[in-house]
Structure 1
Amino acid sequence: MTSFIRVVKNLLPVILLVVVASSAQGADALPSWSEGKTKQSIVAFVERVTAEGSADFVPVPERIAVFDNDGTLWAEQPMYFQLLFALDRVKVLAPQHPEWTSKEPFASLLKGDLKGALAGGEPAIMQIVMTTHSGMTTAEFDQIVRDWIATAKHPKTGQLYTKMIYQPMLELLAYLRANGFKTFIASGGGVDFMRVFSEEIYGIPPEQVIGSSGKTNFEVRGGTPLLMRLAEINFIDDKAGKPVAIHQHIGRRPIAAFGNSDGDLQMLQWTCSPPGPRFCLFVRHTDADREWAYDRASSIGRLDKGLDEALNMNWTVVDMKTDWTKVFAFEQ
Structure 2
Amino acid sequence: MSVNVKLLLTGLLACSMALQATADPLPSWNDTHAKTAIVEYVASVTDPTSEQFVPVAARIAVFDNDGTLWSEQPVYFQLTYALDTLKEKAKKDPSLINSPALKAAAAGDLKTLMAGGMSGLQEVINASHSDMSVMAFQQSVKQWLATARHPKTNMRYDAMIYQPMLELLSYLRDNSFTTYIVSGGGQQFIRAFSEKAYGIPPQQVIGTALHAQYELIDGKPQITKKPDVSFLDDGPGKPVGIATVIGKKPIFVGGNSDGDFEMLEWGSSNELPSFGLIVHHTDAKREFAYDRDSHIGKLDKGLKQASSRGWLVVDMKEDWAKVYPKTP
Global fold match (TM > 0.5): yes
Note the C-alpha offset of 1:213.
0.3
Provide Cα deviations, 1:94-130, integer angstroms capped at 9, x if missing partner: 1354345551111123334221122112221122112
CA distance in 1, matches of 2:219, 2:58: 43
Among 41, 47, 51, the alignment partner of 2:43 is 47
Note the C-alpha offset of 1:168.
0.3
Among 16, 21, 44, the alignment partner of 1:20 is 16
Q: Are residues 1:150 and 2:135 paired?
A: no
The one-letter code of the counterpart of 2:52 is D
Q: Are residues 1:299 and 2:292 paired?
A: no
Cross-structure match for 2:322: 326
The range that moved more, 134-143 or 279-288, is 134-143
Cross-structure match for 2:306: 310
Q: Are residues 1:263 and 2:252 paired?
A: no
CA distance in 2, matches of 1:111, 1:130: 17
Q: Are residues 1:63 and 2:59 paired?
A: yes
Q: Are residues 1:231 and 2:223 paired?
A: no
Cross-structure match for 2:248: 252
CA distance in 1, matches of 2:126, 2:183: 17
Note the C-alpha offset of 1:261.
0.2
The RMSD of aligned alpha carbons is 1.7
Provide Cα deviations, 1:46-82, integer angstroms capped at 9, x if missing partner: 0000101211111111111000000000000001000
CA distance in 1, matches of 2:81, 2:275: 33
Cross-structure match for 1:31: 27
Provide Cα deviations, 1:209-258, integer angstroms capped at 9, x if missing partner: 00000011111233221222111211010000001101111111111000
Cross-structure match for 1:120: 116
- 3-state DSSP of counterpart to 2:171: helix
- 3-state DSSP of counterpart to 1:213: strand
Provide Cα deviations, 1:137-184, integer angstroms capped at 9, x if missing partner: 112111111111111111110000110001100010111111111100
Among 210, 216, 232, the alignment partner of 1:214 is 210
Cross-structure match for 2:81: 85
Provide Cα deviations, 1:5-27, integer angstroms capped at 9, x if missing partner: 97766665654443223211211
Note the C-alpha offset of 1:281.
0.4
Contact in 2 for aligned 1:32/1:168 (Cα 8 Å): yes
- 3-state DSSP of counterpart to 1:271: helix
Contact in 2 for aligned 1:45/1:279 (Cα 8 Å): yes
Cross-structure match for 1:203: 199
Cα gap change, 1:17 to 1:101, in 2 (>3 Å): closer
Of structures 1 and 2, the larger Rg is shown by: 1
The one-letter code of the counterpart of 2:324 is F
Q: What is the TM-score of this pair, normalised by structure 1?
A: 0.94
Note the C-alpha offset of 1:318.
0.3
Residue segments in structure 1 that go unaligned for 5+ positions in a row: none
The one-letter code of the counterpart of 2:278 is F
CA distance in 1, matches of 2:96, 2:218: 31
CA distance in 2, matches of 1:198, 1:99: 34
The one-letter code of the counterpart of 1:313 is R
Provide Cα deviations, 1:250-287, integer angstroms capped at 9, x if missing partner: 11111100000000000000001141210000000000
Contact in 1 for aligned 2:60/2:252 (Cα 8 Å): yes
Residue segments in structure 2 that go unaligned for 5+ positions in a row: none
Q: Percent identity, please.
A: 49
Cross-structure match for 2:91: 95
Q: What is the TM-score of this pair, normalised by structure 2?
A: 0.95
Cross-structure match for 1:110: 106
Contact in 2 for aligned 1:262/1:303 (Cα 8 Å): yes
